[in-house]
Amino acid sequence: MAEDKTVFVCQNCGYISPKWAGKCSNCNSWNSFIEEVQQAPVKSGKSRTEPKPGNAIKIKDISKKKIDRINLPYSEFNRVLGGGLVPGSLVLLGGEPGIGKSTLILQTVLNLKCTNVLYVSGEESENQIKLRAERIGINNEDCYIYTETNIEKILSTIKSVQPEIIVIDSVQTIASEMLTSSPVTVSQIRESTRILQEYAKENDVPVILIGHINKEGDIAGPMSLEHIVDAVFQFEGDNNHYYRLLRPKKNRFG
C-alpha cells in the first residue's frame, strides 16, 4: 500500500520539490516553499480497463453557439469583459489589498436588478458587508450573502440557492476539508478553484473570484491559478487619486 509523502511546494508558481530550498529553481522566488503532504493515489484491486473512445467532431461540423452574455450595470466593466459576463466562465479579479476589489464587485451585483446572486465572503462578516452595501445602495433584493471558507459547504449552499452569478471573496481564503494542507497553499487554492470550475461549466453559471496580488504584482498563491480561469483582470490605482484602472491580462472570450 502506497503511503503519503511530504513535499515542498512553491507558493508562487506551484513547483514541487522533494526537499526545502531557499530559492525556487523554476520562478526564482525566495522563501516561497511550504511543506505539504502529498496523498498517495488509492489503488483498486481490479485490472485497469481501456476507456471507451470519445466522439471527435470535424471542426466544419461543429455548430456555432451564440453566447448570451450577462450585461453588467457599468458599460466600462462590460467593455473590458468583452461585451458582458459569459455564462459558465471563471473570472479572476486581482489587486492590492484595500484597492477596492470587493467594493467594485459588491456595487456591481447590488445594481443587477432581478438577478439571483450569491456573494460568498471568507474575509468579512455579514454585518460588515451589510454596512458597505447600505453605503453603496441596495438595488438588488436577490443578492444573498454567505460567510464561509469551506468549499464543500459553499458548494452545498450554491446548489441550494441556485444563483445566476457567484462571487468568491477571496479565493485565497477558501479551502477543502479533503486536503490535509493548510489554507492559502497552492494545492488548496487549486482544488477549490477546480470544484468551482466544474460547477460553473456544468450549470452555465459565471463565477467571479477575487484575489490579492503579491509585491511582484502577480496573483498571490499561485500563478498557476491564472491558467485555470477564463479571464484575468487587475484592478490598479493609487490611493491618492480618485480613479482606478481595470486592466485585462487574459480573456478567452474577447
Tens of pLDDT, residues 55-91: 899 998 988 888 889 999 999 999 999 999 999 999 9
Task: Write the pLDDT tens digit of every residue in 3-13.
Answer: 677 888 887 77
CB atoms within 10 A of CB 160: 11
Give the Å distances, CA to CA, from 54 to 47, 51, 57, 58: 21, 9, 10, 13
Q: Is the pLDDT of residue 222 over 70?
A: no
Identify residue 209 by its one-letter amino acid code.
Answer: L
Residue 228, SS3 per DSSP: helix
Is 120 a domain residue? yes
Is 190 a domain residue? yes
Q: Is the pLDDT of residue 118 over 90?
A: yes
Is 236 a domain residue? yes
Please give the tally of structural domains in the chain.
2
- If asked whether residues 124 and 9 sit together in one domain, one would say no
Which pLDDT does position 86 carry in this prediction?
Answer: 95
Is 159 a domain residue? yes
- If asked whether residues 111 and 177 sit together in one domain, one would say yes
Query: What is the domain range of residue 9?
Result: 5-38
* Cell numbers standing for residue 129: 458587508
Banded pLDDT at 218 (limits 50, 70, 90): low
CATH number of the domain that residue 99 is part of: 3.40.50.300
Task: Write the pLDDT tens digit of every residue in 150-180.
Answer: 999 999 999 999 999 999 998 989 999 988 7
Is 64 a domain residue? no
Q: Could you tell me the pTM of the whole model?
A: 0.83
Q: Taking a C-beta distance cutoff of 8 angstroms, is the pair 209, 91 a contact?
A: yes
Q: Compute the distance between CA of residue 134 and CA of residue 77 in angstroms, rounded to an integer.
A: 22
Mean pLDDT over 38-61 rounds to 75
Which pLDDT does position 49 carry in this prediction?
Answer: 79
Banded pLDDT at 46 (limits 50, 70, 90): low
Is 50 a domain residue? no
E strands of the chain, at which residues?
A: 5-10, 16-17, 33-38, 90-95, 117-121, 143-147, 165-169, 207-212, 231-237, 244-251
Is 175 a domain residue? yes
- If asked whether residues 216 and 97 sit together in one domain, one would say yes
Higher pLDDT, 46 or 152: 152
- Termini Cα distance of the chain: 48
Is 101 a domain residue? yes
- If asked whether residues 132 and 239 sit together in one domain, one would say yes
- If asked whether residues 100 and 169 sit together in one domain, one would say yes
- If asked whether residues 217 and 120 sit together in one domain, one would say yes
Which pLDDT does position 47 carry in this prediction?
Answer: 58
- If asked whether residues 105 and 185 sit together in one domain, one would say yes
- If asked whether residues 231 and 153 sit together in one domain, one would say yes
- If asked whether residues 177 and 241 sit together in one domain, one would say yes
- If asked whether residues 11 and 119 sit together in one domain, one would say no
